[in-house]
Amino acid sequence: MSSFKLNGLIKVVNPTIKVSDKFSKREFVVTDSSDTYPQDISLQLTQDKCSMLDGVNPGANVEVEFNLRGREWTSPQGEVKYFNTLEAWKVNVLSKGSTPTNSSPSQSNEEDALPF
């Protein structure tokens, strides 16, 4: 399986969720601004890797190494769907972010605007 790298700023760090007695996950978002149009990339950590983001705040500059995972799921109605997950396995903090602050009204309006 191929491994990928992503550099960017942490936008969101969610708490760890215990999905079952044997499985925990933690989702986070990294903004990649290396292109003309910045991309918000959703990734997840699983199991013992969830603690990698303890103490990491939004705004931190990070390098994330991850694998692309895919799976098939069949709904109760028999419809087959496919899902992809970006599963991080290493997070290097390049510079620390600041403590989260309230966004200004102008930032909120920009976030509500459609990207097209």
Can you give the pLDDT at residue 96? 84
Is the predicted pLDDT of residue 60 greater than 90, yes or no? yes
Regarding beta strands 61-74 and 23-32, do their DSSP bridges make them parallel or antiparallel, or are they unpaired? unpaired
Domain count, the chain: 1
Q: 106 in a domain, yes or no?
A: no
Residue 59 phi, psi dihedral angles, 5° rounding: 100, -15
Contact 40, 31 (CB under 8 A): yes
Q: 29 in a domain, yes or no?
A: yes
Q: Domain with 64 in it: what CATH number?
A: 2.40.50.140
Q: 104 in a domain, yes or no?
A: no
Residue 70 belongs to what domain range? 3-99
Q: 85-100, pLDDT tens digit by residue? A: 999 999 999 988 765 5
Q: 113 in a domain, yes or no?
A: no
Contact 53, 64 (CB under 8 A): no
Which tokens belong to 63? 């390098």
Q: 1-51, pLDDT tens digit by residue? A: 678 999 999 999 999 999 999 999 999 999 999 889 999 999 999 999 999
Q: 112 in a domain, yes or no?
A: no
Q: 45 in a domain, yes or no?
A: yes
Q: Which pTM does this prediction carry? A: 0.77
Q: 93 in a domain, yes or no?
A: yes
